[in-house]
Amino acid sequence: MKLLKNIGHVLYRIWFYIMVGLAIILLLPFLLVSILRESWYPFFFRLARIWSKIILMGMLLKPKIERHYRMQKGKSYMLVANHTSMIDIMLMLYLSKNPFVFVGKKELAKLPLFGFFYKRTNILVDRSDARSRHDVFRQAQHKLDQGLSICIFPEGGVPEEEILLDQFKDGAFRLAIEHQIPILPMTFLDNKKRFSYTFLSGGPGIMRVTIHEPIPTKGLALDDKRQLRDRAHSLILETLKKR
């Protein structure tokens, strides 16, 4: 029985990578056109949302959203959530109609097909390089000037399997204060269960999400970033514990 279950996990994981590649191939002509000009990014973003929906549907994953807030059209946010899975990327794209860019680790650019578009449309950071970390702020300013939002998974990576929620880094909260944009916290409740980085795990089902009320940053100074960080962390952690 355990052998059959493990075979099922392996096949499900293989199917995920097939879905990621297949969805990109289906949309490839449109994706290539959409990255020709920076001003066409909103068109690329709409295609990315279609891509994410194809993958979630193909994986038999159904988001179930508890909304305490609806994003205002044309408003920029700092989107933050707990990070447990590759599926987090697809789910975040599914949730937001407001165009945003990810701030993510540069290693993702090495992935076939996905990495080609990821590095051309998002902000990549080498966390071991101080210059790279500093450049994130310049690039984020440019994206916000275009009316986009920013998404950062503030744990700075995927924590060990037994850790419910790791400590948050300061970057997302510093950016939000510097640019006076609200923090919009989200709690992903089932992504670790559905498709974690543990190889022999995962399966179809419901993906519960809580979209919390935004946390304002207007009038805050950089000295307030840790308090802001801890407030967002506590909100997500308490939601994970309750559910």
Residue 204 contacts residue 99 (beta carbons within 8 Å) = no
Give the pLDDT confidence score for residue 200 in this predicted structure.
76
CATH assignment of the domain containing 87: 3.40.1130
Query: CA–CA separation, 182 vs 21, rounded Å?
Result: 34
Distances in whole angstroms, Cα of residue 208 to Cα of each of 166, 172, 240 = 20, 24, 11
Query: CA–CA separation, 41 vs 221, rounded Å?
Result: 31
Cβ neighbourhood burial of 166 (10 Å; 0-12, 13-18, 19+)? middle
Q: What is the pTM of this model?
A: 0.92
| Summary mean pLDDT of the chain | 91
Give the pLDDT confidence score for residue 199 in this predicted structure.
75
Q: What is the pLDDT of residues 231-243, one digit of tens each?
A: 999 999 999 999 7
From the list 19, 3, 1, the residue with the least C-alpha distance to 200 is 3
Give the pLDDT confidence score for residue 135 in this predicted structure.
83
The tally of domains found in the chain comes to 1
* pLDDT: which is higher, 159 or 164: 164
Q: Backbone dihedral region of 64: left (phi > 0), alpha (psi from -120 to 50 degrees) or beta?
A: beta
Domain containing residue 146 = 2-242
Give the pLDDT confidence score for residue 24 in this predicted structure.
94
Mean pLDDT, residues 82-100: 94
